Every structure is written in C-alpha cells, then in structure tokens.
C-alpha cells in the first residue's frame, strides 16, 4: 500500500473513533421517526468507517473521473461533516451491495401502498426484500391550487409517509417510483425543462403537465426522505413516453429530462441512487447504445430498469390478438417449443428509421410469431439488449415488472422460467403486482397476488415455496 494512502487511512481510523460516537449520538438526537432501532444505529458506525475509508482510497488513487456525484463519496462527505449516513445500498459497476458490504439481490413486488399486513406477506411469507412503491402523480392526488410545496394534497403526503414508515420499520428496501397518468406522461410539456410555470386557464395545477410541477414533487420527496433508511432509490418516471409526444428527437428529449431531474434532486440529496430507463415503456430493444446512451454523469449511482410484459395479451388475460392461419385460434399456452428457425422473424423488416419496438409489435401478432413469444428461449432473446448494455457499460439492471394473469395457461411455469433466468443472470426483479387493483372489474386484477374474491392461491403458494429457497 502506498505510504500516502496508509497515512491517510491511519488518520481516518483515529478520527473515526471519536467521530463515530459523535455521529451515533447526533443520529439518535436527530431521528424524527419513533421506530429507530439500536441495530440500525450500530450499523451506521460501521458503515461510516467503511464509507470514509473507501472514499479515501478512491481519492488517493485518482478514481471517479466522471462528472456528477458518486453515492459513496457523498456519504463520506456527510460523515466528514459529522452527519449520520442513512442506510443505503451502494453500487460498484454492475453489482449492488447491501449495508454489510456484501452483494445483494433485490427481489420484490410492485405495491400501490403498503401496510403491516401486506408486509407480513411480502417479508414473512415470500421472503422478499424490496417493494417498488408507486407514487401516483395523478389529479386525484395533486393539489389543484398549486400552493403546496409538494404539489400533492396533504392526505396523499400522509399516505406516502405511512407506507414508507411501515417498510422502513421492517427493513424492506423501497424504490420510490413516480408514475404519471397518460395525459401527462404523453405530453411534451412534462419533458420540456423550460416549462416551469403554470398552465393557462382553465387547466388547474392538478392537471397541468408542465415539468415544473413534476420537479416540485420530486424536490419534496428528496427533502423528505433523503435521510430515511432503506430507500433503495428514486424511480424518476415509470415507463416514460417521449415517443408519444411528437418530438422529432424523443431519446434526446428523455435524456435531457432525466439529467435535469437528477441534477435538481442531487442539490438536495447527493447519495440516494436513481432508477431510470428508456422510452416505449422501458422496452428492451431501446437498450441499444445508439438508441439510449448510458448516462455517465453519476457513476455508481444509477440502476437501469426494463420491463418483461410479453406477450401483452396473454400476460393480461391469457388471450391473444392474432390472425390465425387456420381458424379458430387455439387457446395460447406456455411453453411452446423453441422455434427451429430462431427469433429473427420477430424483427423482419427492421430499420433504424423506425423504432424496433414498433416493428416487433407488428410482426409478433401472427400465429407463428406469437407462439415464439411464448417459448422459453424467447426470454433470453428478448433480454439480450439489456444484458449487452450491461456488459458494455458495467451498470446494474433491474426487471421492474413481470408476471401474468392467473387466466394465462402455463402461468406458473412462465414465471418460474423468468425468475430462474433473472437469478442466473444477476438481474434484480419485482413482480407486478401485490395489490394494484381492488376488485375484479379489470382483468389486470388477476395479475395481482392479493386477488380477492377471485383468489390467486396457486400463485401465492408458488412465491411462498420459492421464498423458502432464498
């Protein structure tokens, strides 16, 4: 070890003995939650030492050459100022690490709110460690007067706080994922970072798509939860839709939007990771480097997201929308045999002048191609673009949504093969969904684990048995 580094580490260790105790006391005094536990605080003293030493090594060795703020470095800077660091994940290349410094696999479910009873299932029954917590930027939750600092109604602020408190108390990691309604997500004004003012009458603040309102909501979340334990990251916008805005450069529009949001959030919170992805609803094929570039401003602070909700009709309700060669169409099921001719026909006629996702969706609805999307080999083919992106840029990946309806023939085999693939390829994941719908009025309800009165007992048992293997 170079003498300069050794001297620096020795000095840091000496400072740590006093600073760790002071930080522990300060953390105890400053905690706003009534659920703080001694083991969390005890971890912080150890985490402080590891973070400060890691940051010293990085600085001494000249690492971190990109612009932006690295989460570990930011935490070390907070410690140097005598502030306790919140319990956070850390990222190194394509790996995510837990508070103990060991690699962690994030396994979980999407939730639309969560309470102790739900967490009894998620943690106690399924042995999961993550929730993707939906923050709904929708008119019913937004403040129509435009006067509240958060842009949300006070009742919705209280609801978010109760969900976060419940998960934090159970030490469940949370991705705070903001989701806008289609009218906002499909509007260019959401992504135009110059749109910081109010909309013209009669559009009120609860319906205005302007970027400024969305930014205000994120600034509130960052201020409120920057020091809350077990926040895995900020999901900037679930399934962005710049491709539907009519902008001639939807990729550039999205990347500029994501960079602007991250910069503004970082002014408040410079250590919590970001979760982001490309347009076309996090489509896998958008992860070609020429289509969606790596955002290199925040090394070791970004997790990239991708969906696996194919084939859409079968996932939704077990049906398909195809033109059958010999009517009537048979009920589709999983798995069909892997095609001898491969999967190239799914992209037949592709051109860089047209988004590949559009070509794929046109081609996949023939009977032969639809069966290909219900073969086991399709999983590897459909995820090859994110995996290639990860290999090229050394960044972590997270499958944020997957899961089929209980009406889909072969559902359990399908979900088992997906999870086996995720596990074998070091992909983090969260199933859609635990409790997204309240009744049977929408067929999507049957994709939830908590489906009543219909019930998804078979699926619940599958995830209960699966959880015992982790």
**Dist. CA 279–CA 242, nearest whole Å:** 6
User: Does the structure show a pLDDT above 70 at 31?
Assistant: no
269-309 confidence digits (pLDDT tens): 999 999 999 988 788 999 987 788 888 889 999 999 999 99
**Does 194 map to a domain?**
yes
Instruction: Report yes or no on 339 lying in a domain.
Output: no
Residue 376: inside a domain: no
**Does 445 have pLDDT greater than 70?**
no
Q: What is the mean pLDDT of residues 123-134?
A: 97
66 and 103, same domain (yes or no)? no
Give CA–CA dist 422/416, Å, rounded. 10
DSSP bridge partners of 180: 137
Same domain, 247 and 300: yes
pLDDT at 444: 60
Beta strand ranges found along 242-372 (DSSP E): 274-276, 302-307
Looking at the 3D structure of the chain, how many domains does it have? 2
pLDDT reported for residue 329 = 73
Residue 121 and residue 51 share a domain: no
Position 83 scores a pLDDT of 64
Q: In which band, very low, low, confident or very high, does the pLDDT at 50 lie, cut at 50, 70 and 90?
A: very low
Question: CA gyration radius for the chain?
Answer: 23
- Going from the C-alpha of 310 to that of each of 73, 145, 373, the distances in angstroms are 39, 40, 7
**Of the residues 66, 85, 104, which one is the last residue of a structural domain?**
85
Is residue 142 situated within a structural domain?
A: yes
Is residue 440 domain-resident?
yes
Q: Do 274 and 415 belong together in one domain?
A: yes
The residue segments making up the domain with residue 75 are 3-85
User: Per residue in 179-205, pLDDT tens?
Assistant: 999 999 999 999 999 999 999 999 999
Residues 195 and 223 both lie in one domain:
yes
Task: Check whether residue 245 and residue 135 sit in a common domain.
Answer: yes
C-alpha–C-alpha distance, residues 325 and 101, integer Å: 56
Instruction: Give the span between the Cα atoms of 228 and 231, in whole angstroms.
Output: 6
Structure confidence at residue 58 as a pLDDT band (50, 70, 90) = very low
The CATH number of whichever domain residue 275 belongs to comes to: 3.20.20.80
- Is 365 part of any domain? no
Last residue of a domain, one of 85, 110, 129: 85
For residues 428 and 157, give the distance between their C-alpha atoms in angstroms, rounded to a whole number.
Answer: 28
Q: Residue 369 and residue 351: Cα distance in Å, rounded?
A: 19
Backbone angles phi, psi at 131, to 5 degrees: -125, 140
Longest CA–CA separation in the chain, Å: 78
In a domain, 331, yes or no: no
Task: Evaluate whether 79 touches 102 at the Cβ level (below 8 Å).
Answer: no
Q: Is residue 313 part of a domain?
A: no
Across 400-428, average pLDDT: 96
* Predicted local distance difference test score (pLDDT) of residue 289: 77
Q: How many residues does the chain have?
A: 470
Alpha-carbon gap, residue 177 to 137, rounded angstroms: 10
Query: Token digits for 62?
Result: 């000249």
Same-domain pairing of 284 and 261 = yes
Q: Are residues 67 and 111 in the same domain?
A: no
Across 404-412, average pLDDT = 93
Question: Residue 25: pLDDT above 50?
Answer: no
Closest listed residue to residue 285, CA positions, set 210, 355, 367, 201: 355
- Give the model's pLDDT for residue 436: 73
pLDDT, one tens digit per residue, over 307-346 is 999 999 999 989 887 766 666 677 899 999 999 999 999 9
Q: Are 367 and 323 in contact (CB under 8 A)?
A: yes
pLDDT band at 82 (very low <50, low <70, confident <90, very high): low
* pLDDT surpassing 70 at residue 368: yes
Residue 132, pLDDT above cutoff 90? yes
Provide the pLDDT confidence category of residue 84 given band limits of 50, 70 and 90.
Answer: confident
- Residue 443: is the preceding peptide bond cis (ω within 30°)? no
Query: What percent of the chain is helix, strand and coil (3-state, nearest 5)?
Result: 45, 15, 45
**Range with the poorest average pLDDT among 37-51, 192-206, 249-263:** 37-51
Same domain, 104 and 61: no
Shared domain for 107 and 247, answered yes or no, is yes
State yes or no: pLDDT of 138 exceeds 60.
yes
Q: Tell me what the mean pLDDT of segment 445-469 comes to.
A: 81
Kindly report which listed range (5-14, 264-273, 371-380, 422-431) carries the lowest average pLDDT score: 5-14
* Number of Cβ atoms within 10 Å of the Cβ of 347: 16
Q: How confident is the model at residue 241 (pLDDT cuts 50, 70, 90)?
A: very high
CB of 114 closer than 8 Å to CB of 133: yes
Token pair 């194919």 is found at: 310
Q: How many whole angstroms separate alpha carbon 123 and alpha carbon 172?
A: 8
Q: Kindly state whether residues 30 and 169 are assigned to the same domain.
A: no
Q: Residue 325 has what pLDDT?
A: 63
Same domain, residue pair 69 and 205? no
Residue 14 has pLDDT above 60, yes or no: no
Among 41, 61, 85, identify where a domain stops: 85
Of the given ranges (32-46, 92-106, 444-458), which has the lowest mean pLDDT? 32-46
Q: Give the SS3 label for residue 335.
A: coil
Helix axes 154-169, 211-225, angle to 10 degrees: 40
Across all residues in the chain, what is the average pLDDT? 84
Q: Which stretch of 37-51, 174-188, 192-206, 356-370 has the lowest confidence by average pLDDT? A: 37-51
What is the reported pLDDT for 18?
39
Q: Which of 398, 395, 405 is nearest to 311 (CA)?
A: 405
Look at residue 451 in the predicted model and tell me its pLDDT: 61
């Amino acid at each position: 070890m170079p003498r300069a580094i050794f001297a620096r580490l020795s000095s840091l260790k000496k400072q740590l003995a006093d600073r760790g105790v002071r930080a522990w006391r300060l953390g105890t005094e400053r905690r706003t939650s009534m659920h703080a536990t001694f083991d969390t605080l005890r971890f912080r003293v150890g985490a402080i030492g590891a973070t400060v030493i890691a940051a010293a090594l990085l600085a001494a060795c000249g690492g971190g050459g990109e612009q932006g703020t690295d989460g570990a470095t930011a935490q070390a800077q907070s410690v140097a100022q005598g502030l306790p660091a919140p319990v956070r994940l850390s990222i190194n290349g394509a790996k995510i690490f837990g508070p103990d410094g060991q690699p962690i696999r994030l396994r979980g479910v999407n939730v639309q709110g969560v309470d102790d009873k739900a967490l009894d299932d998620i943690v106690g029954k399924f042995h999961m460690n993550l929730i993707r917590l939906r923050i709904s930027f929708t008119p019913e939750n937004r403040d129509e007067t435009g006067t509240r600092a958060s842009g949300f109604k006070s009742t919705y602020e209280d609801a978010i706080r109760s969900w976060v408190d419940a998960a934090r108390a159970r030490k469940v990691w949370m991705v705070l994922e903001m989701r806008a309604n289609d009218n906002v997500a499909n509007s260019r004004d959401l992504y135009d970072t110059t749109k910081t003012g109010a909309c013209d009458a009669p559009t009120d603040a609860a319906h205005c798509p302007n970027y400024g309102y969305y930014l205000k909501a994120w600034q509130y979340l960052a201020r409120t939860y920057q020091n809350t334990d077990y926040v895995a990251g900020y999901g900037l916008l679930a399934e962005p839709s710049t491709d539907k805005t009519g902008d001639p450069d939807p990729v550039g529009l999205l990347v500029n939007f994501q960079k602007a949001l991250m910069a503004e959030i970082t002014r408040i919170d410079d250590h919590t990771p970001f979760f982001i992805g490309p347009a076309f609803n996090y489509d896998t094929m958008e992860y070609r480097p020429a289509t969606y570039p790596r955002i290199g401003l925040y090394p070791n602070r970004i997790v990239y997201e991708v969906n696996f909700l194919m084939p859409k009709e079968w996932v939704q309700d077990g049906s398909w929308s195809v033109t059958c060669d010999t009517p009537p169409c048979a009920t589709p099921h999983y798995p069909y045999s892997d095609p001898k001719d491969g999967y190239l026909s799914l992209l037949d006629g592709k051109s860089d002048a047209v988004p590949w996702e559009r070509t794929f969706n046109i081609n996949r609805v023939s009977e032969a191609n639809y069966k290909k999307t219900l073969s086991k080999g399709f999983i590897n083919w459909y995820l090859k673009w994110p995996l290639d992106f990860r290999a090229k840029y050394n960044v972590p990946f997270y499958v944020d949504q997957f899961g089929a309806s209980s009406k889909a023939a072969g559902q359990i085999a399908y979900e088992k093969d997906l999870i086996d693939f995720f596990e074998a390829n070091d992909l983090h994941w969260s199933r859609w969904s635990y409790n997204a719908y309240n009744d049977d009025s929408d067929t999507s309800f049957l994709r939830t684990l908590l489906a009543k009165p219909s019930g998804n007992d078979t699926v619940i048992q599958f995830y209960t048995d699966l959880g015992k293997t982790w």
